[in-house]
Structure 1
Amino acid sequence: MHTISPWAATVHADLENNNVIWEKKCKEYTFQAFNTGDSIWIVAHWPDRGKMAFRAAFGLNSYFEVTNLLDDGELLVINLETRLGKYEVCVTFPDSEAALLHYTTSFKAAMPLLIPFWPRDIIAVTQQGDVENTNGKIHMNQAGSRSGILFASVTKPKTGSVFYFQNLTSISPYCEATQTSLADTVGGTWPEIGFQLPVTNEKPLPSDKAYIISDAYVLFSDTIIDNEITETQQFLNNLAQVYTVLPHPEVLYHNWPEITQNCLTDLDQSKGCWTQTKGISYLNAYLCDYDTPAEVMVQLAVLMPLNELKDWYGETPPVYTDLLNAIDSFYDPKIKTINRWLPELLEQLDKSEEQKKEMVMDSWYLHHPLMNLARLALNGEKKAEELLLKSIDFAIKVAHHFDYQWPVFYKMDTLEVVKKETVPGKGGEKDVPGSYAHLMLLLFRLTKDKRYLREAEKAVKKLVGCGFDILYQANNTAFAAGALLELHKITNQQEYLDLSYACLACLFKNMQIWDCQYGYGKNYPNYFSVFPLNDAPYTAAYEEMEVYAGLSEYLIQSESINLLPSLKILIPEFLKYAISRFPYYYPTKLSQEMISDEVKTGEIVKDLWIPLEDLYSGWEKSGQVGQEVYGAGVGFGILTRQYHKVKNEEFLLFSDYPITNTRKSKQTLTFTVLGTDDFECNLKILIPEKRTLKMEVSVHKGKILPTEKTAGLLSYKIPGGSRVTMIWQ
């Protein structure tokens, strides 16, 4: 039996003792509304099984009078009054194919009010008996300022699942008015779960207008979730289904060719980006951080996107050669692999953190630079290939030593564990088997040696059973998803594809699918952000860039398989918003008041096109960690993936969904836009100065007219999943 609060203890009796004021059937589910005095409840009845109550309105220290109830069959509007103010509850079922409940509640206070308490808005109830006798499992809920999601199953009585999505965007004006936060507002403990309106102990809610205080979407299912594969895939399917009916913010277009040039110039010319040791130039991790020795990951994190940019431009940026020439210096002959730190400067480590002690390695950090060496080698860089092949046996030795289950920190010379678990009882870096498998598959592509394929298969077996707990660091989880997809395509084993979906579920669980428009968050778009760690309070430039690149490649590589349909919605939409958001990591694009005056590492130069590591939504200032030189490749990665040159033509083609299967014949270009026709992507044609271009764009449904037409730009909205034809003269 569960311990419950007074706000749950009387719910069952209140519902039994009050009359139904509204009822509707939807997809074999029955929905009823009750006025129980201080609460308005919407009760959902599963077919033949349990029920759940949703508190659509709470009367504070007062009782509701229903002043009007309008039901036109599509929309229910309940107008309410208490002595403290007026409420309006609107109820719809926006998806004709599913039992999807949407209720929105607004409140206009009669006087400025402090609100020191608010109860959760979901209570599991039984057909007979007490609330505290129900049981359920919460599969996941909001952490920090991620999406306002709660995904749970009712296990007693064995009923099914409920996917609850609180659209926190709508509640931003409330938080702006009361100086509160929406972090950690969707959660709770069974049976009292759901959304809890932020309390106002200091700044009262004004009486000037009506504020939305709830905007909930609830998807019901009778599927019994009994394993992590069903759990993670149903999560993805539920999220995509709710996403299709959500309102979405505007997507902004930015001139990435210009941004890229700005980044290249500042990276090359800003002395704060560089340090020298024995006449060799190295990038600092953070702007003006000269105390920390050079790191191999930092050099390769910029060198790899520069390599892509080199191919896209058809010429070599000046800094590329300097970085390439420097990577040999990180090879440590004592341990026969590249070291994190420049070996000759190990004594300069300040030992302020575990990884800043000599020979201490963060598990994922060993593989990351090796991945970038492998990518460079696959792109033809012989120096990278030589360094990779003489370093890789050490990584394999470590994998065998830990039986493919890596701790957080270990010593490279002795393999002694320095820190075993992220949190006591939670294990080590659980996604590292996936990123290790990605590294092994890159080597398999490079060498055709099946030893590496076998290593990849052994490693990913350790992901079985992890479910929502796979993610340690988001970019590594994205690499793991790609590796598992590749293994599925090589072996045709369904298990690998299912594990790949589990990795993606962990990524989408760790996203902020709402637009925080209060505090400093209102100064930039933050919709569909991804956090670098499960508990990170901010989003990070480099990790987001790698998730973007990894998911872009995932979507392209999955074109030949029967991909889970929900991912054809979620992945392209994430990519579209990432491209729209990423410029706001550059301090040049931000309001100066939102940039932190205190910086943990190095300095911030606000007019440089070098990204901040950390963006906070809400009331915290950004840039507290520092200006991230190793994130300088963000713009390069966008340019090379979203802008497409057309052979023998001067114009550029931009699409914010990935495109494949490009074919050109004379003055005709055809290509496929990935995604689904549930959503549109933005297609733009950038025309050089003093060039006129007559363009006709069509899809299978016919000709598409431009939404914007200027001398230098043509813009179109293209349905996802379309085969596009462009004809010009």
Structure 2
Amino acid sequence: MKPHSPWAAAAAKLLNDPVRQPFKVLDAEGYTFNFHLSVSACWLTVIWPNRCRIAFRLAYSPDDELDIGNVSDKNGQLTFTITSILGKFDVKVILPTEQASMLRYTVTLTPTEGTLFPYWPRDILPLDNAEGEIWLKQVGTRSGQLYFTTTKPQKAAILYLQNLSALADYNQQTETSAGETVGGEWPEIGFALPPTLKNKPLQAGTTYVISDAFIALTTEVPEKERDITQQYLDLLAQVYLALPKPNTHYQPWPEILEKGLTDLIDSPGCWQQVDGKHYFNAYVSDHATPPEIMVQLAVMLPLTDYKEWSGKPNDVIDKLREGLPSFYDEQYKTIMRWHPKVADRLEGEEEQKEPLTMDSWYLHHPLLNLSRLALKGDEVAKKLFLDSLPFAIKVAHHFKYQWPVFYKMDTLEVVKEETQPGKGGEKDVPGLYAHVMLQAWELTGEKRYLAEAEKAAHKLQGLGFDVFYQANNTAFSAGALLRLYKITKKQLYLDLSYLCLASVFKNVQLWDCNYGFGKNFPTFFALFPLNDAPYTAVYEEQEVFCAFHEYLNQAEDVDILPSLRLLMAEYIRYLVERAVYYYPTQLPKEMLSNEVKVGDVDHNLWIALEDLHDGWEPSGEVGQEVYGAGNAFGIIPRHYLRLPGSDIMIYTDYPTYDYSATRGKTVKFRLAGDGRLICRLMVIKADKDKLPEIEVTDSSKTTIKGKKVKDGHMEFTVAGDQHITIHFK
């Protein structure tokens, strides 16, 4: 038996005592819910159909005598009050239904006087000396989630998610963060209120939410990696459906794009020259660091997407293309990270800032973007891609498809083996490499590249939720594995694809940070770039957004998990609103960091910040990220449908498929997502013209009523997973 604290020991003694009877017993969907009152706490013990018992603490007041009052039991919902020395607790418990095995409890506290909490115990205690496994828990300010299973004496699986959005008033008043509040060590796990260490008490007479927990219950306990990750995704989607979600707002991306494009082209801080050729800086005004090939391609590819969508010429693409061959090194027969002619400018202030040091993912990411351009017909990109492939394959064979963090390009000597001691190297690189190899196979038809992709993919087995090194690369890996499944029909690759996506969704933030600086920008469904990153980042988010679009497109003819269709579409929906807040122009100047790691931050410049932080921390401390400029250029071609023969556009915040249009008359397309959730559809008029009369119908031929909004556009609310028809009369 694992050691536990006096608080847990006392609670277990109470809850295991057959003499102590619950003050309320309820049954729902095969589960029994016993409500107990102790000297200092109120507990809810959930008894599974197989007799597994797990206790959830609803209220806590140390060394106190609690009194229950105003008990109401109606329609599967129990409410009651608890009076204590601290003040009054109001408790609401919603029991599972046939539609969802979901338990929810919400607790508020109205203190009698100013109150500080130097300590708060966690709220979950498995009983009967249960043994179990914690598969994942909250890291930093990611979702307040805990996914765990019990194995002895009985089996159960639980996804617990604390709705941290609801705690904003507590965090604001006490100046505490909601980060690292859900976790613990077996058997004392769950949520603990952040301690009030700054002498900022709760105010007497003010009501604060101190817990809002959603708990998905099941008796199915998976044992295999594939089943564990898939159950997590299914339970997460189940919780997500019940979770309160913030409203979204339309962002005028065509206008935003024009501002960003102007600043990208005209701002001298975005550019540098080498041998008369133009290159983007990685960060605004960072002229000291040599040009990087990843930076050039990370902007060039979205610009190319936008050019194809708009039909407008773009001189920037030609400038960037002209400089790409300079990154190829004839000695090593490969593209290099740093421009070879000025790589000696590097001063080694960071491990990777050495001329011949390669960050493992950094070789493959530019190759991936070169292959995408090559498949679009770019001959310069094609040559660079094909000429560099032998070196990439040599490196893969040398490391046996398991890459370290940093290595030397000339000797392949390992510079840094692991991300942290015992954690391994960049674990998602095999998937990224597989993606590159699939692109090579598609471009050339040579089966040896397909064989390389399969060999690399197998190295992802057994990594579980730890496969994630960098968000965009893990998402690209998922797409590559889906393609491998479609090509080979081997179930393993689809399962590994799900594994990658489970790791991505493990690293999102399913709550809104409405305290401190967080009041100035939305954070719901934000994604963190690394497992331990303390902030969300524009570049990785934009690339995951594009990767999800491509995944859903590739999955059109595949029976993938419905939970994934739901979660991916919802991430995209929230991203197209949130992404505008990476621009410093949209944020109050006082929330930006006074110290910047790289280059400068210009509050008036429409170039995105790299980093957005927890509400008590300033943002933009890393720098203003030029290679994040693909943000708007990636969103518009994917979310604005053009009406032939007209300047009218159709916008949706869900992905769309199978778009067709007759000239100025009828538009048809299908929406992604889940029919239980809604998205926004807008008909965007040209500047001076009025919209014609519009009729919008869904799959059932039901007419959807719209409303005229700002600037004369028409807005409609439609369910996901629908066939939409728009008639222009």
Normalization by structure 1: what TM-score? 0.98
Deviations 1:631-655 (A, max 9, x none): 1110100011111112223210111
Tell me what 2:449 maps to. 452
Q: CA deviation at 1:48?
A: 2.7
Write the letter of the residue equivalent to 1:672: R
The residue matched to 1:217 in structure 2 has which SS? strand
Quick check: 165-174 or 445-454, which moved more? 445-454
Residue matched to 1:18: 20
1:557 has 2:554 as partner:
yes
The alpha-carbon deviation at position 13 of structure 1 amounts to: 2.2
Contact 1:674/1:722 (<8 A) preserved: yes
CA distance, structure 1, for counterparts of residue 711 and residue 304 of structure 2:
32
Does the aligned pair in 1 maintain the 2:141–2:180 contact within 8 Å? yes
Shift of 1:368: 0.6
* 1:27 corresponds to: 29
Aligned residue for 1:84? 86
Q: Residue 42 of structure 2 is aligned with which of 40, 43, 49?
A: 40
Corresponding position of 1:577: 574
2:171 matched to 1:175?
A: yes
Contact 1:275 1:281 in 2 (8 A): yes
Match of residue 677, structure 2, among 679, 687, 695: 679
Distance 2:416 2:713 in 1: 54
Shift of 1:459: 0.4
Contact 1:26 1:99 in 2 (8 A): no
Does structure 2 retain, via aligned residues, the 8 Å contact 1:653–1:684?
yes
Deviations 1:515-561 (A, max 9, x none): 01011111100100000000000001100100111011111111111
Q: How does 1:281-680 map to 2 (within 5 A)?
A: 281-666=278-663, 667-680=665-678
User: What is the CA-CA distance between 1:719 and the residue it aligns to?
Assistant: 1.0
Counterpart code for 1:401 = H
The one-letter amino acid paired with 2:28 is C
Q: Does the Cα contact within 8 Å between 1:707 and 1:717 map onto a contact in 2? A: no
Q: Give SS of 1:390's match.
A: helix
Partner in structure 2 of residue 143 of structure 1: 139
The answer to whether residue 690 in structure 2 is matched with residue 699 in structure 1 is: no
Which string of whole-angstrom CA distances, capped at 9 and with x for unpartnered residues, describes residues 202-243 of structure 1? 211111411000000111111122121111000000000011
Partner of 1:53: 55
Using the alignment, how far apart are the partners of 1:148 and 1:331 within structure 2? 45
Instruction: Name 2:253's counterpart in structure 1.
Output: 256
Please give the per-residue CA displacement for 1:72-94, whole angstroms capped at 9, x wherever unaligned.
13321111111221100100126
The 10-residue stretch of structure 1 (13-22 or 654-663) with the greater mean CA deviation from structure 2: 13-22
Give the equivalent residue in structure 1 for 2:218: 221
Query: Which digits, 9 at most, give the CA deviation of each residue in 1:263-301, with x for residues without a partner?
Result: 110000000001111211111100001111111111111
- Partners of 2:711 and 2:166 in 1: CA distance: 38
Match of 1:154 in 2: 150
Distance in 1 (CA, whole Å) between partners of 2:535 and 2:724 is: 38
Q: Take 2:523 and 2:102, find their aligned partners in 1: how far apart are those partners?
A: 26
Number of the residue aligned with 1:199: 195
Amino acid at match of 1:100: M
- Aligned equivalents of 2:723, 2:696: Cα separation in 1: 11
The one-letter amino acid of 1:38's match is S
Equivalenced residue count is 723
Q: Secondary structure at the match of 1:527?
A: coil
CA distance in 2, matches of 1:190, 1:710: 53
Contact 2:290 2:342 in 1 (8 A): yes
1:710/1:420 CA distance change after superposition, 3 Å? closer
User: RMSD value over aligned CA atoms?
Assistant: 1.1
Hey, what does 1:130 align to over in structure 2?
A: none
Runs of 5+ consecutive residues of structure 2 not aligned to the other structure: none
Superposed displacement of residue 707, structure 1: 3.7
The residue type paired with residue 137 of structure 1 is E
Letter of the aligned partner of 1:103 in structure 2? Y
Tell me the CA shift for residue 671 of structure 1: 0.9
8 Å Cα contact 1:687/1:693 also seen in 2: no
Contact 2:2 2:187 in 1 (8 A): yes
Aligned to 1:240: 237
Partner of 2:120: 118
Shift of 1:18: 2.7
Secondary structure at 1:215 match in 2: strand
Counterparts of 2:33 and 2:301, CA distance in 1: 55
> How far off its partner does 1:710 sit?
6.0
Unaligned runs of 5+ in 1: 127-132
Aligned counterpart, 1:129 = none
Distance across 2 between alignment mates of 1:464 and 1:492: 17
Tell me which moved more, 623-632 or 668-677. Answer: 668-677
For 1:239, give the aligned amino acid.
Answer: L
CA displacement 1:304-328 (0-9 Å, x = unmatched): 1111111112122232211111111
Q: Are the equivalent residues in 2 in contact too, given 1:697–1:705 (CA < 8 A)?
A: yes
Q: Which amino acid aligns with 2:30?
A: E
Render the CA deviation track for 1:59-106: whole Å, top value 9, x for unaligned: 134221112211113321111111221100100126432321100000
CA distance in structure 2 between the partners assigned to 1:18 and 1:581 by the alignment = 51
SS, match of residue 569 in structure 1: helix
- 1:93/1:100 contact within 8 Å kept: yes
Q: Is contact 2:50-2:154 (8 Å) kept?
A: no
Could you tell me whether the CA contact under 8 Å between 1:95 and 1:245 is conserved in 2?
A: no
Q: Aligned residue for 1:231?
A: 228
| Residue aligned with 1:329, SS | helix
Distance, in Å, in 1 between the alignment partners of 2:263 and 2:589 is: 19
Distance 2:51 2:502 in 1: 28
C-alpha contact 2:644 2:662 (8 A) present in aligned 1 = no
Aligned-partner SS, 1:158: coil
Q: Please report how far the alpha carbon of residue 588 of structure 1 lies from its aligned counterpart in structure 2 after TM superposition.
A: 0.2
CA distance in 2, matches of 1:160, 1:506: 22
Distance 1:611 1:580 in 2: 14
Percent sequence identity is 48
Letter in 2 for 1:37: V
Partner SS for 1:682: strand
Contact 2:536/2:612 (<8 A) preserved: yes
Q: Distance in 1 between matches of 2:403 and 2:86?
A: 57
Contact 1:268-1:318 at 8 Å conserved across structures: no
**Match of 1:687, as an amino acid?**
K
Distance 1:82 1:208 in 2: 14
2:77 to 69, 75, 78: 75
Q: Which residue of the other structure, out of 248, 258, 266, is the alignment partner of 1:269?
A: 266
Q: Given residue 676 of structure 1, which amino acid in structure 2 is its aligned partner?
A: D
| Structure 2 CA distance for partners of 1:73 and 1:638, relative to 1, 3 Å | same
Q: Which amino acid aligns with 2:461?
A: V
What secondary structure is seen at the aligned counterpart in 1 of 2:285?
A: coil
Query: Cα deviations across residues 164-218 of structure 1 (Å, max 9, x unaligned)?
Result: 0100000011000000011110000111000000111221111141100000011
Letter paired with 2:253: W
